[in-house]
Structure 1
Amino acid sequence: MKIKLFIVEDSLVIRSILKRMFQDESDIEVIGEASKVKDAIEGISSLNPDVVTLDVILPDGSGLDVLKKFSNSGIPFIMLSSSTTEGAQVTVDALNYGAFDYVPKINPPLGLINVREELLKKIKAAYLAKGKIRVKPCLECLPFKKPVVKVEKRIANKAVAIIASTGAPPQIRKIVSELDSNFDASLIIVQHMPIGFTKVFAESLNTVCPFPISEAEEGQSLFVNAGIVAKGGFHLRIKSDKSIYLDGKTEAYFGLRPAGDMTLETLAPVFREKLLVIIMTGMGSDGTNGAKIVKSFGGKVYVEDEASCVVFGMPGSVIRANLHDKVVSLSEIPNAIMEFVGN
């Protein structure tokens, strides 16, 4: 059976490139296309595709306007995003609304050829995840002004690291919104995102978390009652004095930079048994090699259960390697984190 694909893209040239890209794929069929919000909504409603690729910026609105109309449809959307500030903001908003994933447009239109394999992989993964329950967008999930919590400039003796990828952004927002303001540890989030996107994602988390969350900066210390998001385009490393080193020289790890494994190999020897790692939804196996190192230093490794995951790749890899201490559902993760921090 072929995957029925609908393309939403305002550029005729890019639409043509995308259609040619899929011509040789025996398991993908482009059943429709649109260049505007109105036409996209009508086309998706009438054709009921399996997967939609969605341009972030459209002539009469944004991809978010389309996504909102189908938030309860079970149809997975893959955002095609520019690296502009506006493109990054809309993409992160779309992920928070439940978009399956995104693929950055690098030097379009011809640069799309370079992300062909990534796009094909995500379309096929999205098809397999079609209809899977994800965090539903609601008023409580959207940005709001929170009480300002004074940051205690005390170096953390404990750390909690979240390693995540496909389907995780709205889940991470839910988790951090349920953490206590008295968080006697440092929170480190490695979400697979490129340069520009991680800053917007960190700002998004900062609106719902009871303590400050920011994009990681060179030389920044790991404080209690504070969280950081690994910066896109760099591997996040931790020095022995618990300060941050942004590694832009080491090559992408299995195509990823930041990669969770790279962070865990430096976090583990610093925090040892006072480190908790949560491996969440995502394709591939990032976190498995790092989990082995964490375990060797006495740290704990929890994985998100299959029922909660949009894609069970990363947690499943850790389980198959028998490197996990506990399997937790999405709803259990905040309490699991606070129990570790409080003990």
Structure 2
Amino acid sequence: MASLPNTSARPRVVVADDSRLMRRILSDALSRQGFDVVAGAANGDEALAACNEHRPDAMTLDLHMPGLDGLGVLRALKAGKATSVPVIVVSAFSPAHGARAVDALAEGAFDLVAKPAMGESMDEFTKELARKVNDAADSGKARARRRLTPPTKPAKVTPLVNKPATPRAAAARPARTGGKKFVMIASSTGGPKALGELIPKLPSPLGSGSVIVQHMPPGFTASLATRLDGTSRLSVVEAKAGDAVDPKRLLLAPGGAHLRMENDGRVRLSDDAPMGGLRPRADLTIEDVAKIYGSNLLLVVLTGMGKDGLEGAKAVKKAGGRILVEAESTCVVYGMPRAVAEAGLADEILPLNELPAAIAREAGA
């Protein structure tokens, strides 16, 4: 008798959506990408039961379901009412849906995928879904391994000594007061939750201005800006073409566009092709502000998958700027910060709760 194929290495996934058609679409898409879809769930209670029964590596979650909805599922998981599992929210976009999706990320969802609108590519959606579900599964396994590993005493982080900044013509930079720094924040997976903890603790005014590049699908960044604005002393807005930097305002790059900065400190939005699957790409914005602000730039790299920010960090160090990165202990995914830290570019590596004071101090708030 021929042996069955070994599927133990295939990430095991639960698909939760109240639409039978969408469950089928998601399940088929994931199966074609090499995942083992172990269960489907039509509501939140079924999703929690499936997590307890199958102990999957990841779960896709619709937010609008009868009875216990997606936010209720995330809160139940956080409260330990079911087996912990990394969650990818799969949501249609509308202003209301966008706000709920940002709420879901704040409640601990690993990442977000926008359901394709009419006429949009199913192939691109399938690739993004598979990539993020795989990242979520890998992250969950990594966290489990860390829980089983005896803790070690953390190595002392020695701040690096910056090289002198390359002199630049004053006319090439926006006016700034008292040598205050421009603050550039880059984040990805886990970023909305981290930003929700970080930004409300920052002072206003902050340095000479500030900008965030957070990887999110188009449309959802407006909801994130609104959420952050409601809890922060800084005014947080989704950036528009022509916006000028302001110490009392924090600009958030819109999903689906690269945020570029002109020499006069005004925003330009670019629809150039995604870089490494990302638009916005933090590297592009960082390289722009490094040229403009030179040694009066502070780069902050938060939790995120991949290495976006690494090339930008090299430009920051070359220009004489400073770099803070989030410590692994508080990252959802220690990818972007790790890339910068392991390249020897970080001046300080700090847990999330210590970053607000460090940013205020460095920026000259």
Which TM class, normalised by the smaller chain length?
0.7 to 0.9
Query: Could you tell me how far 1:8 is from its partner in structure 2?
Result: 0.3
- Counterpart for residue 89 of structure 1: 99
- Distance, in Å, in 2 between the alignment partners of 1:274 and 1:100 is 34
* 1:162 and 2:185 are equivalent in the alignment: yes
Q: What amino acid maps onto 1:12 in structure 2? A: R
* 1:239 and 2:262 are equivalent in the alignment: yes
Pick one of 170, 192, 203 that aligns with 1:180.
Answer: 203
- Distance, in Å, in 2 between the alignment partners of 1:25 and 1:268 is 40
- Counterpart for residue 106 of structure 1: 116
Contact 1:36/1:59, CA 8 A, preserved across alignment:
yes
* 1:12 and 2:34 are equivalent in the alignment: no
Contact 1:76/1:126, CA 8 A, preserved across alignment:
yes
Q: What amino acid maps onto 1:261 in structure 2? A: D
- Counterpart for residue 194 of structure 2: 171
Query: Could you tell me how far 1:203 is from its partner in structure 2?
Result: 0.5
- Counterpart for residue 332 of structure 2: 310
> Which protein has the larger Cα radius of gyration, Structure 1 or Structure 2?
2
- Distance, in Å, in 2 between the alignment partners of 1:125 and 1:38 is 25
How high is the TM-score relative to the length of structure 2?
0.81
Deviations 1:136-159 (A, max 9, x none): xxxxxxxxxxxxxxxxxx967521
Distance 1:104 1:289, change over 3 A: same
Deviations 1:298-323 (A, max 9, x none): 11122212222111111122223322
Q: What amino acid maps onto 1:68 in structure 2? A: R
Alignment of 1:222-261 (within 5 A): 222-248=245-271, 250-261=272-283
Contact 1:155/1:242, CA 8 A, preserved across alignment:
no
Deviations 1:201-228 (A, max 9, x none): 0011111111211111111110112211
Distance 1:196 1:313, change over 3 A: same
Q: SS state of the match for residue 307, structure 1?
A: helix
Q: Structure 1 stretches (4+) deviating beyond 6 angstroms?
A: none
Q: How many residues align?
A: 321
Query: Could you tell me how far 1:111 is from its partner in structure 2?
Result: 4.3
Structure 2 gaps, min length 5? 1-7, 145-174
Q: SS state of the match for residue 195, structure 1?
A: coil
- Distance, in Å, in 2 between the alignment partners of 1:40 and 1:283 is 26
- Counterpart for residue 86 of structure 2: 76
Contact 1:237/1:245, CA 8 A, preserved across alignment:
yes
- Counterpart for residue 142 of structure 1: none
Alignment of 1:1-343 (within 5 A): 1=8, 2-24=10-32, 28-60=35-67, 62-73=69-80, 74-107=84-117, 111-130=121-140, 132=143, 158-248=181-271, 250-342=272-364
Q: SS state of the match for residue 285, structure 1?
A: coil
Distance 1:241 1:22, change over 3 A: closer
- Distance, in Å, in 2 between the alignment partners of 1:292 and 1:83 is 36
Structure 1 gaps, min length 5? 134-153
- Distance, in Å, in 2 between the alignment partners of 1:228 and 1:240 is 16
Q: What amino acid maps onto 1:37 in structure 2? A: G
Q: What amino acid maps onto 2:303 in structure 1? A: T
Q: Percent identity?
A: 34
Contact 1:101/1:122, CA 8 A, preserved across alignment:
yes
- Distance, in Å, in 1 between the alignment partners of 2:251 and 2:68 is 32
Contact 1:13/1:109, CA 8 A, preserved across alignment:
no
Contact 2:190/2:331, CA 8 A, preserved across alignment:
yes
Q: SS state of the match for residue 80, structure 1?
A: strand
Contact 1:186/1:223, CA 8 A, preserved across alignment:
yes
- Distance, in Å, in 1 between the alignment partners of 2:258 and 2:123 is 25
- Distance, in Å, in 2 between the alignment partners of 1:88 and 1:25 is 27
